[in-house]
Structures are given as structure tokens and as C-alpha cells.
Amino acid sequence: MVRYIIRRLLQLIPVFFGTTFLIYYLVWRLPGDPFAAMCGDRGCPPAYVATMRAKFNMDDPILIQYFKYLGKLVQGDFGTTYQGLSVGKQMAMAYPTTVKLAVIALLIEALIGIAAGMYTGLKGGGFLDNLVLISTLFLISLPVFVTGFVLQIVFGFQLGIIDVTVPPSAPIGSLIAPAFALASLSMAYVTRLTRASILENKRADYVRTAVAKGLKPNRVVGVHLLRNSVIPVLTFLGTDLGALMGGAIVTEGIFNIKGIGNLVYRAIFFKESVTVVGVVTLLVVVYLLMNLLVDLLYAVLDPRIRYE
């Protein structure tokens, strides 16, 4: 196991360098002058522009810029914005809210999706099975921002059950509706994935053997069928955490949540390239670590998987 973990960590290094360099290159190569709007309609003096370009190493070759950025990054310095604000401090203030939102969304999609997928997969056919399939297809066809607006209008404005906008403190109760909107698409996929996996595995030889041995139905389902059926679902859920945090831009905008999505939106609007690169780099690290965690959990769920 230790050798496998070391090998997987070593595999993450080229992936990290490749993805972060690509992000850095694309963001800093966007057309337009990032300092054009900082001095109003008059335009910035050439001396000021030259100073700012030197401060952010914009006159160096892109590869040199990237390695200078990495040098600061390994020291925990995500850089400063054009206004002199620390990107790391801004992320530290915004990230906990987005993490709460993403974790609640992940719990919603996991609990509801797996439960609905298990029920329909075990029963198969019937009214509820068709209802779940139609409902998930409906959720898949709806963009997240539409689901968010519907929840906001119906349950916020009309019924007054939820907060229309989330307060700055972002209590967990006020994040449930935004989290449901954020998780709606993934929840539909988890339901269908679990249902298909259950239907496939319940006809497998090991399940028939467990039934023939006289094991109780709850043990057959919980110990044998569910553990093997949940492996593809676990892969989806593990990688989806990073996607939820990255995809929270729209949801946070609808519900006025002061999280990472809101921070990225403002950074893109004001062409704050340093902030965009810092946030996306952090999301890349989350993706890589979640993939590693999912790989390690495989052996817990399926004893047939060996790492050595």
C-alpha cells in the first residue's frame, strides 16, 4: 500500500505541472491590457504600466513567469492582485463557504442519488422506477441556473421557505437550497449510475451464490451487492467534489453567496489574472487529491483489488 501511494503521488507531479502551466499560459495570454481600465477613461501613464508589468513579470518569457509563480506558490504565496490585495487571504475568506456548499451538495447527491438508484435497481420496473427515470431525465435536461432560479422564485419569493440570498455568514440551513440546485445534475447521474450498477451486479454469480448459501437478503444487498455496485458511483462522487466547487460560480451568483465562485467571477470581470490562476490551481490540487483518495478507497470496498 505504501509503495502504491508513493507511486501515485509521483504520478501526480507531472499532471500538476502540466495542468497548472496550461492554466497559467491561457490566462496570461488572454487578449487585452489588464491595466487599461485601472485609471479610468484617461488611461494609465506609461511609467505606471511599466512598473506594474515589471511587478508581475509580464515582460519575461512565459516559462520564466510560470516558474517564478511556482516558486512563490510552494511558499504559500498565491500572489497579490493589481490593487495590492493578497490572493491567499481572499481565498481563505471565500473558500470555507464554497467548501460547505460543495460538501452539502455532495451529501445531497450521494444520499438521494444512491438511495433512489438502489431502490429502483432492486425493484426494477413499476411506477416508481419509471417516475425516477423521468425525474432524473428532467433534471439532466435542466441547466443548473434554471433549477436555481426556480427554487429561488417558488420557495423563496412565493412560499418564503428559503432565503432568497444567503447571508455573508452562510449558515448551513441557508445553503441547503443552493446546494440542491448545484447537486441536481450530478444527483440525477448518480441515481442512474447506481441503478444500472445494481441491475448488472444482482445477476452476477457471487450474488446468486450468496443467496444459495442462505444469507439474509439484507446481508446479500449490504455486504455483497452494494459494495461492488458503489465502486463506479464512488469514482463519480470523488471527482465531482472538485467539479462542484468549480461549478459553484453560477449558483453562488444566483443566491449571492460570497464564495470562490463569486471571487472568480469578479476576478474575470476585472481581468485579475493572478486571482483566476490561484483559484484554478487550488481546484486542480483538490481534483488530484480526490482522485488519489478514491483510488485508495477501492481496496476497502472491493477486496479483490490489490495495490502491491
CATH label of the domain that carries residue 171: 1.10.3720.10
- CA distances in angstroms from 199 to 32, 83, 135, 287, listed in the order given: 54, 57, 19, 30
Instruction: Report whether pLDDT(70) > 70.
Output: yes
Does residue 3 sit within a domain? yes
85 φ/ψ sector (left φ>0, alpha ψ -120 to 50, else beta): beta
pLDDT at residue number 200: 81
Same domain, 256 and 282: no
pLDDT tens, residue by residue, 148-195: 888 888 888 888 888 888 888 878 888 898 999 888 888 999 999 988
What is the count of structural domains for the chain?
2
For residues 221 and 276, membership in a common domain is answered with no
Cα angle vertex 9, ends 7, 15, to 5°?
110
Q: How far apart are CA 60 and CA 68, in angstroms?
A: 10
Q: In this structure, is residue 16 part of a structural domain?
A: yes
Same domain, 210 and 261: yes
Q: Are residues 22 and 76 in the same domain?
A: yes
Q: What is the mean pLDDT of residues 32-47?
A: 67
Residue 86 β-bridge partners? 80
The pLDDT of residue 31 is 67
> Residue 304's pLDDT band (boundaries 50, 70, 90)?
low
Query: Does 139 reside within a domain?
Result: yes
- In one-letter notation, the amino acid at residue 192 is R
If asked whether residues 259 and 135 sit together in one domain, one would say yes
What range does the domain containing 121 cover?
A: 94-270
Domain membership flag for residue 150: yes
Per the model's pLDDT, the better-predicted residue between 199 and 301 turns out to be 199
Q: Quote the percentage of the chain above a pLDDT of 70.
A: 91
Same domain, yes or no, for 138 and 255?
yes
CA 111 distance to own-chain centroid: 17
Note the pTM of the prediction, 2 decimals.
0.79
Whether residue 42 is contained in a domain is answered as: no
- Same domain for 119 and 16? no
Residue 202 is assigned to a structural domain of this protein: yes
Same domain, 210 and 276: no
Co-location of 202 and 129 in the same domain: yes
What pLDDT digit, counting tens, does each position of 211-255 carry? 787 777 777 777 777 777 877 888 888 778 777 877 677 888 888
Whether residue 265 is contained in a domain is answered as yes
pLDDT, average across residues 76-85: 80
When the pLDDT of each residue in the chain is averaged and rounded to a whole number, the result is 81
Q: Is residue 36 very low, low, confident or very high in pLDDT (cuts 50, 70, 90)?
A: low
Residue 87 has pLDDT above 60, yes or no: yes
Kindly state whether residues 153 and 260 are assigned to the same domain.
Answer: yes
**Confidence label for 65 from pLDDT (cuts 50, 70 and 90):** confident
**So what's the pLDDT on residue 299?**
64
For residue 100, is it within any domain?
yes
Residue 262 and residue 253: Cα distance in Å, rounded? 6
pLDDT at position 202 is: 79
H helices present in the chain, as ranges: 2-28, 46-55, 62-73, 87-123, 126-141, 144-151, 172-201, 205-212, 217-219, 226-246, 248-254, 260-269, 273-301
Are residues 238 and 300 both part of a single domain?
no
Q: Are residues 128 and 242 in the same domain?
A: yes
Q: Which of 76-80, 109-113, 196-200, 240-244 has the highest mean pLDDT?
A: 109-113
Task: Give the model's confidence band at 39: pLDDT under 50 very low, under 70 low, under 90 confident, else very high.
Answer: low
